[in-house]
Structure 1
Amino acid sequence: MQSDRPNYDLLVIGGGINGVGIAADAAGRGLSTLLCEMNDLGSATSSSSSKLIHGGLRYLEYGEFRLVREALAEREVLLHIAPHITRPLRFRLPHRPYLRPAWLIRLGLFLYDRLAARDTLQPFKSINFGKDSPLKADITHGFEYSDGWVDDARLVVLNAMAARDKGATILTHTRCISAQRQASNWQVSLLDKHSGATREVSAYALVNASGPWVSSLFPEVIHSQAPKQIRMVKGSHIVVPRLYNSPEAYILQNSDRRIVFVIPYEKRFSLIGTTDVEYHGEPNAVKISPEERDYLISVTNQHFRHQLKPSDIVMDYAGIRPLLDDQSDNAQAVTRDYSFEIDAPENHPPLISVFGGKITTYRKLAQAVVDTLTPFFPDIGPRWTANTPLPGGDFETATQLLHTLKTRYPWLPLNVALRYVQSYGTLCHVFLKDAHNLNALGTHFGYGLYSAEVDYLIDQEWAFSLEDILWRRSKLGLHLSTEQQTEVEQYLETHPTLTEKMG
C-alpha cells in the first residue's frame, strides 16, 4: 500500500457525465479535485443514451415544466460551448389522430418553443408528407420542430479534459473501495484495477455521482444507509442501415404512450430507440432483450415504407437510467429531473449524493452541486461553465474550421478532416501539427483511423481498450471490418504507454 496521502478539497466518485461535470465545475472554481471511475469514462449510462440534447417534449404531458424549461435553455448552452460534438437537429412528428389530437400537439410544440429562449433553433411548423416521404402513404400530415444531437461519450471525455485542464486529477479504472468520514475529512481507499495497487487519499468533501450505483455505494463503500433510492429503467437502442436519406430525425408515437426516435447516425445508419423497461439486475449486465428488439422494429414498421427485419440490426445497446424513485406507476412516467442530497453534520465534512438527471442538464446539475459547497469553501470562485467552450470547441463555425484544416493540411482527405472537425474540433491539431503528409500519421487501420489518432486517444483521453477507441471515443466500430479491428487491437497490445500503465 502506498504511504503518500495527498489531500484534496473534493473527491468525486463516478466518471459519468454528472461526475465529470461536477469535477470540471469545481476545479474551475479553484477546488483541488480528484475524480475516480471504476471503468472507462462514460462507460455506463452516459454512453448509452439516444444522443440527444433536448427538452423532452413528452415530459410536458407529465407536467415537468421546470425540467423542460431548464433542459431547453441548456440545449442552447451546449450548442454554443460544444459546437464540434453537437448540432441542431430537426424532428418530424407524424400525426396519428387516434393517439393525440392535432390541437394538443400544437399546444405542446407552442409551449416547447416558448419555455426558453431559442438563439439558433427554428420554431415548429405543420408539414404535409408527399409521395417522396419515407413514411407510409396513409401518414400525410405532421409537425416539425427543433432539438439537438450530441456525441454523448465524447461529451463526458471533454468534460474530464476540462477538469484536468483546470488542475483536477482524473483516475480511470480506479475503484473506490472505502470512504470513511473522519472529524475533519474523508479518508478514502482507491484500488487501481490494472495494477492491483491501493492508495489512501483524503478529501474534505465527497460527491457520490456513481449513477446506477449511487444507492448501493452507501452500504458497500460508505457503510451507511442511502438517503434515497433510485429506480433503474432500461433504455435500449438498435442500429440499422439508414432508412431514408434526408437529414431529419423522426419521433414516432405509439399506442402505449411511449415514443421512439429514428435518428440519422454515422452517415450510413439509423439509430432507433428507446425503450422504458423496469430493470432489477446488475447495471453492468444490462442488455437489450428480444422483446425490446421486436418492439422497436414494430413501431418503426408501423410508420415507414421500408420494413425492417431482425436480421437488419447492425448493432444494439442498452443502458440504465438511474432515475429518482418518485413512485410513478410506470417506467416512462418516472421523472427525468435530478436531485441531490447533502449530508453535513455540524463540524464534519460534507457528502453530496446525486440522484437521477439527464444528459442535457448535466451542467446545471454540476453547477448546483458546486454552489452547495460554497459554505464549506469561502474562497470558491465564480460560476464559469456556461460561457466557456469545452476543449476543442474554440472555433466560430464548423465550416471555418474545416477550411482551416484543408488549408493547413491540404493532403488530408475531406472525409477524415470532416470527422476530425465533428469529433475533436481544434484538438485535432494536437496529433496533426507535426504531420506533412498521410504517411506521417502512421499506420492506417481503415476508414481514416491512423495510429497518430490512436496514440492521442491513449495519451490524452484515457483510452485503454479497443472498445474505448472504437465505440466511445469514436463510433468507428461501425465502419471497420473484423480484420481491421483486430489490427487495432494488436497495435494496442504492444503500445508502450498501455504496457506501462498496465504494470
Structure 2
Amino acid sequence: MSDTNSFHRANSLLGSDQSCDVLVVGGGINGTGIARDLAGRGWRVVLCEQDDLGAHTSSASSKLIHGGLRYLEYREFGLVRKALLERERLLRSAPHIMWPMRFVLPHDAHMRPAWMIRLGLWLYDHLAPRRFLPGCETVDLNHSPLGAPLQPQWQRGFVYSDGWVDDARLVVLCAMDASELGASILTRTRCTAITPDGDGWCATLQAQGAREPTTLRARAVVNAAGPWVERVLRDGMGVRSNPTHLRLVKGSHIVVPRCTAHDHAYILQGEDGRIVFVIPYEQDFTLIGTTDVAFQGDPSAVRIDDDEVAYLCQTVNRYLKQAVTPQDVRWSYAGVRPLLDDAQSSASAVTRDYRLQVSNEPAPWLTVWGGKITTFRVLAEQAATQVGELLGSRRLPWTAHAWLPGGNLLEHVNTEEVLIHPQAAFAGLQAHLLRQLPWLDDALASRWCRAYGGRVFRMLAHVSHPDALGREVSPGLHEIELSYLRRHEWARTAEDILWRRSKLGLHYSPSERQAVADWLTAQG
C-alpha cells in the first residue's frame, strides 16, 4: 500500500466533516502515548507524524526503563520516584518487549565512597514499591563471573535492578492501541500549518506523495513534536513569545560484538563523571552509550561523529579487559533529546523531567516539553486529563493497569506463577506457540513472541503448516510477517522493518537487507 493510499484510507475515518476533537502532532512515544490515552477516554483523535512512527528520538534511546539512578545525585527525588513507580507498571504492561535487567556498578573509590553508593542504592530500592524486581547487593568482582570481563583493579561492585525496552516497538504498540480505540494514525504526514478557527484550529496536513494537502478542523491541538516542538509552536501555531524553551542534546550509541558471557549490564563512570551503559544486545552484540553533546541543526539529520565513538571506547576501555576500538563498531545511531532547559551548564545535569504547558489562547492547545521514555505513560495520563479540562470534560484515566497490544500473556498461559513474575508468562507464551506449531523453529518462535507477544496468534491465525508462512524473503523473515507489519504496524520501507519494527538489519548482510526492500517495492 502506498503512503498516499494509506493516508486517504485513514483520512476517510475522520468523517465527512474532516474534524476531530484533538489533533496530536508528533508520532514519538509522547505523541502516541497521549493519542492512546485520549482515544481510550472517548475523544476523537487524529495523530500525524512527518516520518515513520518513532523514527527519531524515540528509537534512539539507551533502551532502558529505569528510575535514573544518577539523577539522585542532582537531588531529583521526585523524578526518580515517579520513574520508579512507572518502571514496574510498564514491565507488567508489555512483558514481551520489556523485561527486568540487572546492572553491575564497579566501585571507583576515587569517585565516591562505598557508603555513599550504598545509600544511593538503598534510596533507589525504597523510593517506590518493588513487587518482583530484586534489590541491590554487593559483589566481589574477583570471585564472580560478573567481574570476568573487567580489568583486575575493579575488585568490588554493586548490583541493582532496572528494565530493558524495545523503544521503537513501544511506540508502535501505543499507536496500535490508539488506532484500535478509534484514533486515526497518519504516518508520513506533515502538519504544515495550524491556524485558529473560531474556538478551535484549522490544520493543513500534507501526506508524502499526495498532490494536495488535506484540511482538518480540531477542537484542540497537542504539540508533541519532540525536538521540533518549538518550531511547531512558533511557526505552525503562531505562538511567538513563550517563556519555556528546549535544550537539544545529542545522544549517540555504538553496537559492537558481544563483550560479556552473562546477561547483566554494566553502568560505568568515566573520569569526567558521566556514566556509560554497556548492555547485552540482540544476542550477539553489546550496546554502548550514551553521549551528551549540545546540538544545533536539523534533528532529522543527526549522526554520531568520530569524537563520540572515541569517547565511548575510551570510557569502557577504562574498565574492560578486552579493548573496544572504533573498528569494532558494527552499527551506531544518534538521536536528539529535547530536554527542558533549566539553565544548567552541563548537558548531563539538565533535568529529564517534563512540563505540560496548556492554554486556551487563541484556542485550546497543550505542548509537551521534555520527558523520558520511562515516564511516557504518566505524562500521557496528565496530558489527556488537561486536554479534557480544556474541552470541558475531564474523563477518567485508564492506562495505569492496562496492557499494551500483545502484553496480556495471561490468556495464553495457565499457571499461577505469572501473577508473581511477568517473565514467567513469556516463557509460557513461547511454549504454547510451539505446542500449536511444533514444526516451528525455536529461534523464530522466540523472536516472534518477543516482538508480538500474544498478537503472534493473530499473525499466525490461519497458519497450520510451513508453506502458509509464505516465502522466506531473508533469513527468518517470511512474507506473512512482512504483510502483517504493513497492514497493522504502518511499516512502509525496509528501514522501518529492519531497524525499528525489528533489529534484523543488524544480523543481515547488505544483500539480505536489499531483498526486503525489493519485496516491498514489488508490493507497490
User: TM-score normalised by the shorter chain: which range applies?
Assistant: over 0.9
Q: Letter of the aligned partner of 1:403 in structure 2?
A: A
- Structure 1 residues 226 and 164: alpha-carbon distance in aligned structure 2, compared to 1, 3 A threshold: farther
- Give the distance between the partners of 1:366 and 1:331, measured in 2 at CA: 25
Contact 2:176–2:405 (CA under 8 A) maintained in structure 1: yes
> What is the one-letter code of the residue matched to 1:412?
L
1:476, distance to aligned residue in structure 2 (A): 0.3
Contact map agreement 1:29 1:380 (CA 8 A) in 2: no
Identity of paired residues, percent? 47
2:133 maps to 121
From the superposition, tell whether residues 81 and 279 of structure 1 become closer, same or farther in structure 2 (CA, over 3 Å). Answer: same
Q: Which residue of 2 aligns with 1:421?
A: 449
CA shift for structure 1 position 66 = 0.5
2: CA distance between counterparts of 1:226 and 1:295?
38
Aligned residue number for residue 196 of structure 1: 211
1:144-193 C-alpha deviation (Å, 9 max, x unpaired): 00000000000000000010011000000000001011222110000011
Instruction: Give matches, 1:216-255, under 5 Å.
Output: 216-225=231-240, 227=242, 228-255=244-271
What TM-score, normalized to structure 1?
Answer: 0.96
2:498 pairs with 1:470: yes
- Asked if residue 456 in structure 1 is aligned to residue 471 in structure 2, the reply is no
Given candidates 372, 384, 396, the residue that maps to 1:358 is: 372
CA distance in 1, matches of 2:173, 2:358: 27
Deviation at residue 74 of structure 1 after TM alignment? 0.4
Change (3 A) 1:62 1:196: farther
Q: Secondary structure at the match of 2:406?
A: coil
Aligned to 1:151: 166
- Give, in whole Å, the separation in 1 of the partners of 2:270 and 2:513: 38
* Aligned equivalent of 1:166: 181
Aligned to 2:18: 6
Amino acid across the alignment from 1:115: L
Q: What is the rounded CA distance, in whole Å, between the counterparts of 1:218 and 1:374 in structure 2?
A: 20
How far apart are the structure 1 equivalents of 2:355 and 2:394? Answer: 22
Q: 1:110 aligns with which of 89, 114, 122?
A: 122
The aligned runs of 1:383-422 (5 Å cut-off) are 383-396=397-410, 397-422=425-450
**2-structure distance, mates of 1:380, 1:34:** 19
Asked if the contact 1:82–1:389 (Cα under 8 Å) also holds between the matched residues in 2, the reply is: yes
Q: Which amino acid aligns with 2:367?
A: S
Report the counterpart of residue 370 of structure 1 in structure 2: 384
Q: Offset at 1:375?
A: 2.4
Amino acid at match of 2:290: T
Structure 1 contact 57–112 (Cα < 8 Å) conserved: yes
CA deviation after TM superposition for structure 1 residue 490, in Å: 0.6
CA distance in structure 2 between the aligned counterparts of 1:180 and 1:485, rounded to whole angstroms: 42
Question: What residue ranges of structure 2 are gaps of 5+ in the alignment?
Answer: 1-7, 411-424
Q: Which residue of 2 aligns with 1:179?
A: 194
1:64 counterpart = 2:76: yes
1:475-486 equivalence runs, <5 A: 475-486=503-514
Please state how far the C-alpha of 1:349 moved relative to its aligned partner.
3.0
- Following superposition, the deviation at residue 386 of structure 1 comes to 1.0
Deviation of 1:380 after TM superposition, in Å, equals 4.9
What is the SS of the residue equivalent to 1:138?
coil
Q: Is the 8 A contact 1:218 1:226 kept in 2?
A: no
- Offset, 1:320: 0.5
Give the Cα–Cα distance (whole angstroms) in 2 for the partners of residues 339 and 373 of structure 1. Answer: 14
Change (3 A) 1:226 1:147: farther
Please give the alpha-carbon distance, in whole angstroms, between the structure 1 residues aligned to 2:392 and 2:233: 28
2:330 corresponds to which of 304, 314, 337: 314
Deviations 1:358-389 (A, max 9, x none): 00000000000111123234455321111110
Q: What TM-score, normalized to structure 2?
A: 0.92
Matched, 1:333 2:352: no
For 1:266, the equivalent position in structure 2 comes to 282
Contact residue 91 and residue 99 of structure 2 kept, 8 A? yes
Amino acid at match of 1:69: R
Q: Is 129-138 or 391-400 further displaced after alignment? A: 129-138
Q: Which residue of 2 aligns with 1:215?
A: 230
1:292 aligns with 2:308: yes
Structure 1 contact 435–441 (Cα < 8 Å) conserved: yes
Measure the CA separation in 2 of the matches of 1:322 and 1:196.
Answer: 32
Instruction: Quote the offset at 1:5 in angstroms.
Output: 4.0
Q: Per-residue deviation at 1:194?
A: 2.2
Q: Which runs of 5+ in 1 are unaligned?
A: none
Report the counterpart of residue 76 of structure 1 in structure 2.
88
